[in-house]
Chains A and B, each alone.
Chain A
Amino acid sequence: EDQVTQSPEALRLQEGESSSLNCSYTVSGLRGLFWYRQDPGKGPEFLFTLYSAGEEKEKERLKATLTKKESFLHITAPKPEDSATYLCAVQAAQGGSEKLVFGKGTKLTVNP
């Protein structure tokens, strides 16, 4: 069974304090790994897609990396507006599935 585990469940940072969020996965052939940001009471907003080990993508203060077993979302010098829940999801290659399997998310709070 495909599984995604995110850690930590919650993370509090001071503004400017860099850190990383982890997404560990087990999947029968990875088709893609997706990172989303979700603000309270809103739908998830797409951030990144990674397809193969060694791939990296950046957007402003965020950088996503991928290995064969996990992905990291690195946050450099975060600001209070980066506070949100970050979701990781994987799409399996087996069976041509269109489905995403989501982790439970990491709730990030950045204090000024």
Chain B
Amino acid sequence: DVKVTQSSRYLVKRTGEKVFLECVQDMDHENMFWYRQDPGLGLRLIYFSYDVKMKEKGDIPEGYSVSREKKERFSLILESASTNQTSMYLCASSLRAPNIQYFGAGTRLSVL
């Protein structure tokens, strides 16, 4: 079974803090993705990576950056957290398209 593991289920941070969300997959997938999910807005793509050290902006990259130093690990970074970044963050991975994206359990981030 494919396993995508997100390091935290719940996080509470203060405005202005630097926040790291970590994601690890165990299936040697080329692609990894970060989404955020908000009520009424659905799933929105923040960034994705199709190879180590490669990244592409998704639909809402502002305020976020990413890092992929190893194939199995994809990190989402909030340089200076703001209250409007309070959300559910979901990581996913897949083989090359067209292929199924497998999701982690999600990290619910609250920025106070």
Interfacial residues, chain A to chain B (CB-CB below 8 A): 31-32, 34, 36, 41-46, 49, 51, 87, 89, 91, 96-100, 102-105
Chain A residue nearest to B35 in the complex (CB): A102
**Contact (A43, B104) CB under 8 Å given A99-B58, A102-B42, A102-B43:** yes
In whole angstroms, how far apart are the Cα atoms of A45 and B96 in the complex? 19
Identify 22 residue pairs between A and B in the complex whose beta-carbon atoms are under 8 Å apart, listed by A's number: A31-B98, A32-B97, A34-B100, A41-B106, A42-B106, A43-B103, A43-B106, A46-B101, A87-B42, A87-B43, A91-B97, A91-B98, A96-B97, A98-B31, A98-B94, A98-B96, A98-B97, A99-B58, A100-B45, A102-B43, A104-B40, A105-B42
Say whether A44 contacts B103, CB under 8 Å: yes
B→A interface (CB under 8 Å): 4, 31, 33, 40-43, 45, 48, 50, 58, 90, 92, 94, 96-98, 100-106, 108
Please give the distance in Å from B22's CB to the nearest CB on chain A: 15
By a CB distance below 8 angstroms, the chain B residues around A104 are: 40-42
- Apart from A43-B90, A87-B43: 7 A-B pairs, beta carbons within 8 A: A44-B43, A44-B103, A46-B100, A49-B98, A87-B42, A97-B97, A102-B43
